[in-house]
Amino acid sequence: MSACDDLLHPHPHVALLPSAGMGHLTPFLRLATQLVHHHCNVTLITTHPIVSLSESKLITHFLAAFPQVNQVKFNLLPLDHTTANSTDPFFLHFETIRRSAHLLSPLLASLSPPLHALVCDVTLISSVIPVTESLHLPNYILFTSSAKMLSFFSYFHIHASKAGDDYPAMLGDVEIPGLPSIPRSSIPPLLLIPNNLFANIFKVDSPKVTKSNGVLINTFEGLEALSLELLNGGKVVEGMPPVIAVGPLMPCDFEKGELGNNQLKWLNEQPVGSVVYVSFGSRTVISRDQIREIGHGLIRSGCRFLWVVKDKKVDKEDEEGLEEVVGRELMESLKAKGLVVKNWVDQGEILGHKAVGGFVSHCGWNSVIEAAWHGVPILAWPQHGDQKINAEVVESSRLGMWVTSWGWGEKDMVKGDEFGERIREMMGSELLRGQATHIKEEARKALGDGGSCEMTFKRLVAEWKMKSGCVSGSK
């Protein structure tokens, strides 16, 4: 029997390889859900060990919801941390996967039915593509940020080369053909630090995007039409593979926990559109001093609020309580108008609640897409990484507002008075509400019957079915 017999295996078999962190894992699992819905055989490659408890729980919930998905465990080689030049647990995990990537070859070749494609995380490009090339296996990248950030990422090696030996000191504003200039102040800060792990991965992977068969990205025309047009028109970099907008990839049932009884009861008691939701994502660590300024700002805003507090990068079972983090006296004052939580929350359910009328966000891309889906205006407060470039998308699309003078949240202190004033401005803006509603309609149209998202997946599946589904070593 031929291993490439498509009559025996009529549905494409696609393997997914995420890296580390909820911001990377979540869109992979949402993509997997769409692929199952479009009748693909899906294999999820999970790396071991894993970084956080949240990731482990989410994978468990996903596999319970989709027993037809095949899980393959990829055991990683130990990493000598002294050679990696980083203390960040997530970046170290990126590097661990990269250094173990050569072990993927027999794993991928042994899968049955034979694979039609591998979708890997953007942080793994240069390590995984040689493996897929040796197996004659199509390789796709899932880019876990905005199309504007993809433009920056794919163009970065060209921009960095202009600085020459003076990189990164002489790295200036980024002039990507066809797009508004990206100021140096919006460049992810780690790219401006010589020889750190994240910057080294970024610089090595940037020119390798053109070696892939396509880039899947969680966005849609109604939010990022210009960036998508320029990327696919070859204006950003020559030889760019197809950039395939598969968004919006929305929260799925397997992600839902029970919204805490207190949270749901409290939200149900608030007037429509009166609550500002404050959350800075799964990886952002806020200093104790800044946490207390945020608390004072929420009080001074006069608005109702639901605030998720996080002061540790990796979630543990033995974390301090809210009163220790926020302060006992401030916690008492906050109870008059709001609800403060430190536990995991169902962000999709919160943003979809009728009481929520605004979102203070770090502008992690999953959060931006969820706000767009629910039509909730954003007050952008980027903390690190790609988030200023994503905030530019929020501002230019008028999905929300961005106070550029605040700088990077992890470095610059924002005082409570100004924070409260900007919350009032966002919550009182009819213009922002109207545009957020329009973007919500565009998102629903993209994901609806006959929408761009459905048509994109149908084309992808048809393309994969045209391929042999045969990799070297699988016969």
Q: 196: which DSSP letter?
A: -
Alpha helices by DSSP H, 302-338:
322-326, 328-334
Does the N-terminal peptide bond of residue 180 adopt cis geometry, omega within 30 degrees of 0? no
Note the pLDDT of residue 100. 95
Residuewise pLDDT in 10s, the chain (475 residues): 344 544 555 899 999 999 988 999 999 999 999 999 999 999 999 999 888 888 999 999 999 999 999 999 999 999 887 777 788 888 999 999 999 999 999 999 999 999 999 999 999 999 999 999 999 999 999 999 999 999 999 999 999 888 777 788 778 899 999 999 999 999 999 999 888 899 999 999 999 999 999 999 999 999 999 999 999 999 999 999 999 999 999 988 888 765 666 888 999 999 999 999 999 976 677 888 999 999 999 999 999 999 999 766 555 444 667 878 888 888 888 988 999 998 778 899 999 999 999 999 999 999 999 999 999 999 999 999 999 999 999 999 999 999 999 989 767 899 999 999 999 999 999 999 999 999 999 999 999 999 999 999 999 999 998 876 556 554 4
Does the N-terminal peptide bond of residue 12 adopt cis geometry, omega within 30 degrees of 0? no
Q: Say if residue 88 is in the same domain as residue 51.
A: yes
What is the b/e burial string over 292-316, where b = at least 16 CB atoms within 10 angstroms of the residue's CB?
A: bbbbbbbbbbebbbbbbbbbeebbe
- Taking CA 388 as the corner, what is the angle to CA 249 and CA 86, rounded to the nearest 5 degrees? 90
Residue 116 lies in a domain: yes
Q: Say if residue 60 is in the same domain as residue 180.
A: yes
Residue 436 lies in a domain: no
Residue 5 lies in a domain: no
Residues contacting 95, CB < 8 A, separation 6+: 79, 84, 86, 197, 201
3-state secondary structure of 340: strand
Q: Which two three-digit tokens encode residue 388?
A: 């200023």
- Could you tell me which of 382, 199, 282, 386 has the C-alpha nearest to residue 21? 282
Residue 61 lies in a domain: yes
Residue 275 lies in a domain: yes
- Interatomic CA distance for residues 118 and 126, integer angstroms: 14
Residue 130 lies in a domain: yes
- Could you tell me which of 429, 436, 431, 404 has the C-alpha nearest to residue 418? 404
Q: Say if residue 248 is in the same domain as residue 266.
A: no
Number of C-alpha atoms within 13 angstroms, CB side, residue 342? 20
Residue span of the structural domain in which 189 resides? 13-252+449-466
Q: What is the greatest pairwise CA distance in the chain? A: 73
Number of C-alpha atoms within 13 angstroms, CB side, residue 93? 22
- Could you tell me which of 147, 155, 151 has the C-alpha nearest to residue 216? 147
- Interatomic CA distance for residues 71 and 364, integer angstroms: 27
DSSP states of 39-81: T-EEEEEEEES-S-HHHHHHHHHHHHH-TTSEEEEEEPPP--G
Q: Say if residue 246 is in the same domain as residue 362.
A: no
Residue 433 lies in a domain: no
Strand partners, 289: none
What is the b/e burial string over 168-178, where b = at least 16 CB atoms within 10 angstroms of the residue's CB?
A: beebeebebee
Q: Say if residue 404 is in the same domain as residue 354.
A: yes
Which positions are annotated as active-site residues? 24, 121
Q: Say if residue 129 is in the same domain as residue 264.
A: no
* CA-CA-CA-CA dihedral for 173, 178, 439, 298, to nearest 10: 10
Q: Say if residue 367 is in the same domain as residue 246.
A: no
Domain count across the chain: 2
Residues 366, 374: contact at Cβ < 8 Å?
Answer: no
Query: How far from each other are the two terminal CA atoms of the chain, in whole angstroms?
Result: 9
Q: Which two three-digit tokens encode residue 20?
A: 């580390």
Task: Give the CATH number of the domain where residue 186 resides.
Answer: 3.40.50.2000
- Interatomic CA distance for residues 170 and 162, integer angstroms: 9
3-state secondary structure of 275: strand
- Interatomic CA distance for residues 315 and 309, integer angstroms: 12
Q: Say if residue 453 is in the same domain as residue 383.
A: no
Q: Say if residue 51 is in the same domain as residue 172.
A: yes
Instruction: Provide the 10 A C-beta neighbour count for residue 88.
Output: 19
- Taking CA 35 as the corner, what is the angle to CA 133 and CA 28, rounded to the nearest 5 degrees? 70
Q: Say if residue 43 is in the same domain as residue 75.
A: yes
Q: Say if residue 167 is in the same domain as residue 309.
A: no
Q: Say if residue 222 is in the same domain as residue 320.
A: no
Residue 336 lies in a domain: yes
